[in-house]
C-alpha cells in the first residue's frame, strides 16, 4: 500500500507515468466536452482551456470518460490559472470536489 501511495504522489508531481494509460476514447470525449463547454467555468475565458477531471483519473479511472466528472477550466500561467487555483486549490497534489460550485461562484463574481 505504501508503494502505491508513493507512486500516486509521483504521478501527481509529474515524476512517474500513470499506472493505467488513458482510454483510446479520451481524445474524442475531450473534444466533445470542449465543443459543448468551450469556456472556463470559473472565469469565462476561452484561452488555454483544459478538461479537468473532478474525481482525478488516478483516483478512479472508471470516471475518465463520464461527462458529469468533467469541467472546463483555463490553464494560464500565474494567479489567473483557474485549473490550478480552482481545480486543485493552488496545489496540483490536491483535488477540489467542490470545483463546480466554486467555479460557478467565481464566474458569478466576474460578471458583476
Which tens digit of pLDDT belongs to each residue from 46-67?
A: 999 999 999 999 899 999 999 9
The pLDDT of residue 19: 66
9-46 pLDDT, tens digit per residue, is 555 554 545 567 899 999 999 999 999 999 999 999 99
Distance in angstroms (rounded) separating the CA atoms of residues 8 and 44:
31
List the domain boundaries for the chain.
24-111
- The more confidently predicted of residues 100 and 111 is 100
Q: Confidence class of residue 4 from pLDDT cuts 50, 70 and 90?
A: low
Q: Note the pLDDT of residue 95.
A: 94
Question: What integer pLDDT is reported at residue 77 of this predicted model?
Answer: 78
Is the pLDDT at 101 greater than 60? The verdict is yes
Report the C-alpha gap between 54 and 95 in whole angstroms. Answer: 8
In Å, how far are 27, 35, 62, 100, 112 from 95, measured between CA atoms?
A: 22, 25, 17, 12, 27
CB atoms under 10 Å from CB of 8, counted, come to 17
Q: In this structure, how many other beta carbons lie within 10 angstroms of the beta carbon of residue 4?
A: 9
Looking at residue 74, what is its pLDDT? 95
Amino acid at each position: 500500500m505504501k508503494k502505491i501511495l508513493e507512486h500516486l504522489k509521483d504521478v501527481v508531481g509529474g515524476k512517474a507515468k500513470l499506472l493505467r494509460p488513458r482510454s483510446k476514447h479520451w481524445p474524442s470525449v475531450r473534444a466533445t466536452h470542449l465543443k459543448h463547454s468551450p469556456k472556463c467555468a470559473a472565469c469565462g475565458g476561452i484561452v488555454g482551456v483544459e478538461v479537468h477531471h473532478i474525481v482525478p483519473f488516478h483516483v478512479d479511472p472508471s470516471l475518465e470518460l463520464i461527462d458529469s466528472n468533467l469541467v472546463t477550466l483555463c490553464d494560464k500561467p500565474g494567479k489567473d490559472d483557474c485549473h490550478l487555483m480552482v481545480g486543485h486549490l493552488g496545489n496540483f497534489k490536491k483535488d477540489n470536489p467542490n470545483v463546480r460550485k466554486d467555479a460557478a461562484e467565481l464566474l458569478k463574481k466576474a460578471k458583476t
